[in-house]
Amino acid sequence: MSATLSYDPYQLPAGLLAVAVHAVFFALLYFGFSWQTQPARTISVELWQSLPEVEIAPPAVPRIAEAIQPVRPAQPEKLIKPDITLPDKKDKKKVEPKPTQQIPVEKKPDQAEQRERIATEQAAQQAAQAARETAEQAAREKAAQDAAMNAMVKEFGDKITNKIRSKIVMPPDVRDDALAIFSVTLLPGGTVLNADLKKSSGNAAYDSAVERAIWKAQPLPLPADVAMFNHFRVLLLKFRPVE
């Protein structure tokens, strides 16, 4: 086996170039590291035996008075006074003329008017006098009629009572002061419609005897004048054993 050696003309420049590149690379590394390196800083330390007292300032309080300002009420608008011209008090007042009092002049009455006035007064007096006389006459007549009517009522009342008393059959043992009162209702002509005992005499036998006598005595006597019947329609009759 044989070895053949050959010479390459490009090997030497290539080696030189590689060496130069490596040299430049190492130079950049060296200078770059030394450029970034800085000297170490020195630190000073102070030792204290105790902490110093520190004054703590109070927190600042905001001024509320300055922050809150009072709101002033809106001022009302000034009233605009109308331009009114007032009358001057110094102006002269109008003097009104005072009414003149007229003194009435007495007028003498005429003789004819005076006579007429007197006649009128006399006529009025006469009329008043006549009216008074008429009223007095009417009163007298009415009083006379009332008196006559009362006399007639009493007269026929006595007649009715006497007729009934004549029909009473007196029971025994009746006191003299016994009093029986009956209300008797009549019909025209004297017929008895009803007889009611209003007050007992205290003796039932005497009360019954009087009631029987009332029914027996009809027709009772009445005035002939029919207009008088209203005064005898209802009679209140009193009976005693001794009259």
Identify residue 2 by its one-letter amino acid code.
S
Q: pLDDT by residue (tens digit) across 84-93? A: 555 555 555 5
**156 lies in which domain range?**
143-239
Write out pLDDT tens, residues 137-184.
999 998 998 898 888 888 999 999 999 999 999 999 889 889 999 999
Domain count along the chain:
1
Identify whether the C-beta of residue 223 lies closer than 8 Å to the C-beta of residue 152: yes
CATH code, domain with 202: 3.30.1150.10
Amino acid, single-letter form, for residue 25: F
pLDDT at 5: 46
Q: Is 216 part of any domain?
A: yes
Position 208 pLDDT exceeds 70:
yes
Residue 126 inside a domain? The answer is no
Whether pTM > 0.85 for this model: the answer is no
- The whole-number pLDDT of residue 19 equals 81
Has residue 115 been placed in a domain?
no
The whole-angstrom separation of Cα 202 and Cα 207 is 8
In a domain, 161, yes or no: yes
Calpha distance 182→167 (Å, rounded):
15
Q: Is the pLDDT of residue 198 over 90?
A: yes
**Is residue 137 situated within a structural domain?**
no
Residue 203 lies in a domain: yes
Q: What is the DSSP letter of 125?
A: H
Is 178 part of a structural domain of the chain?
A: yes
In a domain, 232, yes or no: yes
Confidence at residue 113, expressed as pLDDT on a 0 to 100 scale: 86
